[in-house]
Amino acid sequence: MAEHLLTLTTDFGTRSPFVAAMKGVILNINPAARILDLSHEIPPFDLRHAAFFLAEALPYFPPDTLHVVVVDPEVGSSRALLLVSVAGQRVLVPDNGCWTLLAERYPDSLTVLRVEQQRLFRPQISSTFHGRDILAPVAAYLSLGIPSSEVGPPTHTWRKLDWPTPVHAPDGVHGEIVFVDHFGNLISNIAGSLVSAGSWVGIGSPTAKPKPARLVRTYADASPGELVALVSSSGLLEVAIVQGNAAQQLGAGVGTPIHLG
Amino acid sequence: MAEHLLTLTTDFGTRSPFVAAMKGVILNINPAARILDLSHEIPPFDLRHAAFFLAEALPYFPPDTLHVVVVDPEVGSSRALLLVSVAGQRVLVPDNGCWTLLAERYPDSLTVLRVEQQRLFRPQISSTFHGRDILAPVAAYLSLGIPSSEVGPPTHTWRKLDWPTPVHAPDGVHGEIVFVDHFGNLISNIAGSLVSAGSWVGIGSPTAKPKPARLVRTYADASPGELVALVSSSGLLEVAIVQGNAAQQLGAGVGTPIHLG
Amino acid sequence: MAEHLLTLTTDFGTRSPFVAAMKGVILNINPAARILDLSHEIPPFDLRHAAFFLAEALPYFPPDTLHVVVVDPEVGSSRALLLVSVAGQRVLVPDNGCWTLLAERYPDSLTVLRVEQQRLFRPQISSTFHGRDILAPVAAYLSLGIPSSEVGPPTHTWRKLDWPTPVHAPDGVHGEIVFVDHFGNLISNIAGSLVSAGSWVGIGSPTAKPKPARLVRTYADASPGELVALVSSSGLLEVAIVQGNAAQQLGAGVGTPIHLG
């Protein structure tokens, strides 16, 4: 376990002082904390974006790394705060389901605690910033080595994020785009393992004619500007425009249908 | 005190090599420096944005943490560079007033030094990048433990940033928006402590009819899309559109009038 | 040498999980690694932007600092991966030439190795994310102290990035803009040392009449809104609009001609 290490993932941006305030709270409790930014550019309130982000990034970390994840449209309501042990990682997160995609991929050894031990919170709790007032101090104490069990009792109920599953039909697999990366590449929910040499990939509306994307092994197998399909680095079927931005150029995004024939 | 720790806040962005150059200069002098990014997304030259950012973030840090803050439209002129002890923190900053809002909130124990000890600077000083050539090396030496007094003599004169104060009138308090956060929430200069159960909040032009915002305790007390007013996590009256972007949807921003009746 | 330190520079942004995945891989191999972000906002596939960034930032770092630089439009092709010792720094980078501008400025003591030791890679290598699968683990092992020579054999061939050189003519020097910074300042390829008291600077098309920019020492020597020319903090001729955005306001960018008369 990487001592004193904790990571931060939020939808706060860094124009605002919120991430900085959380860092201050953490260091005030554990001056030796090693704070690692994962992202503060999760789109505001976008739990599906956060879910994909966590599922793709967290499994690479050392066992038991502590991750603080704050995308929290329901802050101040009665929604719980959780400490989840999943995929060998520890995640401090509002009960919003953004970690359940990760749990589906790594179904073993899940434990979920409710964060309720107020002794670990800041003395004053605002109703709009639990990242600073609850999750940051709890993370700091955990990074000092207190046992996970001290944060609160186990729970067996939590929100589960809906995640679209592809439909297997006689004419192939019908999926949809679930993530658009920084390059505008369109990542689908269709497993790359379903792709074979003679496969056909079409992207776009199921009513209008879908646009065909040529299957390649990597971007460099096609010319700049070409629409291609490939197996992404996360093992999913992906559509890209070589050295271009497929999302912008196709007007596609999360939810756009994709067909593997 | 968190040893070797220093934070960076700039309006440089990270597309440009300026922040990276500062990090290099710091590590060259103190290879053990722990550099923590607070923000590089302060809008260019926006001293009021920086002032609010510092006032909201710095008080959470451990005592004596060193903060390097570079928003410097007058770089290369005769404006001074300062080492300010304020709110229990140390701030290395051009003399542009962006720290004086913080000082107003924490008026005790202010000391201000002029950064003049050239022995601590880089040998060549450019006329457009004192962050790299002066503030970064001075910060690095301070992070190594040299006494603050070595940077230069005390001063009792500095720029003070104008900050709008609300007007108390028979019909209530007339304030204005002083900060727009990453979510488009509109934070005003009206103290949340002035809000009571029967209060009325209006946002917008004082000539046209102001738009009413329903008072709630937290975002989750209203429906997505609703215009609400609440006490922000910094204790100020705030106007928001639940899970929306109030700044964009209202065409509001810094300076927009707000009325608490 | 700063122990366990390594820096990251990519065109990945932080909306996507790619940078976070690289950080996880690094920490899994070296839990004591000190990971410093330089930038993840290199414009996608923009090798010239990366080249300027590296040339301006890396020389400030402590000797032998390890820099991982991933701008990799040809990922998955047969292009090599390199460990370059240049300007006293170590750079892990795809063979795309983005480090050769740095090498031109610091021509001494260049050594280039091909990264080929598969024992240092992740067991599964994707065809689209060598940053995570090859460069991150190799960087982690280097940060643990393995000798550079273990990554692979020396090479004497690599891609060289074209970089425009100014033309010296009877009427002065004709150069072009090579970098636009976060403020919209336009940095040219004309050495500041060529500027003298009576120089004349014009920016814009060589066919239409170029716009004159008044020579100043620093931004604060002119009024907000004025078009000025000055020697940048990197020693190059720069054109700026004081407290404005010259790139936007002039419609200028990389490749725009500039004339020093």
Per-residue pLDDT of C118-173, as tens digits, reads 999 999 999 999 999 999 999 999 999 999 999 999 999 999 999 999 999 999 99
Residue C205 pLDDT > 80, yes or no?
no
Contact A233 C31 (CB under 8 A): no
Judged by a CB distance cut-off of 8 A, whether residue A77 touches chain B is yes
pLDDT of residue B164: 96
Mean pLDDT in residue range A163-179: 96
Residue B193, Cβ neighbours under 10 Å: how many?
10
Segment C45-56, tens digit of pLDDT: 999 999 999 999
Position with higher pLDDT, C2 vs A51: A51
Q: Is C45 in the A-facing interface, judged by CB distances under 8 Å?
A: yes
Q: Average per-residue pLDDT in chain A? A: 95
Across the range A193-210, mean pLDDT stands at 88
- In eight-state DSSP terms, residue A154 is B
Q: Is the pLDDT of residue C1 over 60?
A: no
Rounded to the nearest 10 degrees, what angle do helices B136-143 and B18-29 cross at?
Answer: 40
pLDDT band at C67 (very low <50, low <70, confident <90, very high): very high
Instruction: Provide, as residue numbers in chain B, all residues whose Cβ is less than 8 Å from the Cβ of C43.
Output: 15
- Residue B89 backbone zone (phi > 0: left; psi -120 to 50: alpha; other: beta): beta
Residue A59 has pLDDT above 90, yes or no: yes
Give the pLDDT confidence score for residue A242 in this predicted structure: 95
Q: Report the residue from A14, A25, A128 with minimal CB separation from B219.
A: A128
- CA-to-CA dists, residue B122 to B140, C10, C58, C60, angstroms: 11, 28, 16, 11
Sign of CA dihedral C147, C150, C154, C159: negative
The rounded distance, in Å, linking the Cα atoms of A31 and B5 is: 9
* Helices and strands per DSSP (H, E), number in chain C: 6, 14
- For the whole prediction, is pTM greater than 0.90? yes
User: Which pLDDT does position A206 carry in this prediction?
Assistant: 65
Q: Please answer whether residues B240 and B254 qualify as being in contact, where contact means their C-beta atoms are separated by less than 8 angstroms.
A: no
pLDDT digits (tens, 9 = 90+) for C214-243: 999 999 899 999 999 999 999 999 999 999
For the cut 60, the answer to whether the pLDDT of residue A112 exceeds it is yes
**Residue A124 to residue C259: CA distance in whole angstroms:** 61
Token pair of A200 as six digits? 């056909």
B3-to-A54, B6, B70 alpha-carbon distances in Å: 32, 9, 22
Which chains would you list as touching C if contact means 3+ CB atom pairs under 8 Å? A, B
Residue B175 to chain C, least CA–CA distance (Å): 28
Tell me, what's the pLDDT at C17? 98
Q: How far is CA B213 from CA B52, B230, B260, C169, in A?
A: 23, 9, 10, 66
Q: In this predicted structure, what is the pLDDT of residue A207? A: 74
Question: pLDDT below 70 — which residues of chain B?
Answer: 1-2, 206
The per-residue pLDDT for C2 is 65
**pLDDT attached to residue B168:** 96
Residue C108 pLDDT level (bands cut at 50, 70, 90): confident
* CB–CB contact B220 A76 (8 Å): yes
Instruction: Read off the pLDDT of residues A115-170 as tens digits, 9 standing for 90 and up.
Output: 999 999 999 999 999 999 999 999 999 999 999 999 999 999 999 999 999 999 99
pLDDT at A1 over 60: no
Would you place residue A205 in the very low, low, confident or very high pLDDT band (cuts 50, 70, 90)?
A: confident
What pLDDT was estimated at residue B2?
Answer: 65
Q: Which residue of A has its CA nearest to C20?
A: A38
Q: Using the predicted structure, report yes or no on whether residue C86 has a pLDDT greater than 80.
A: yes
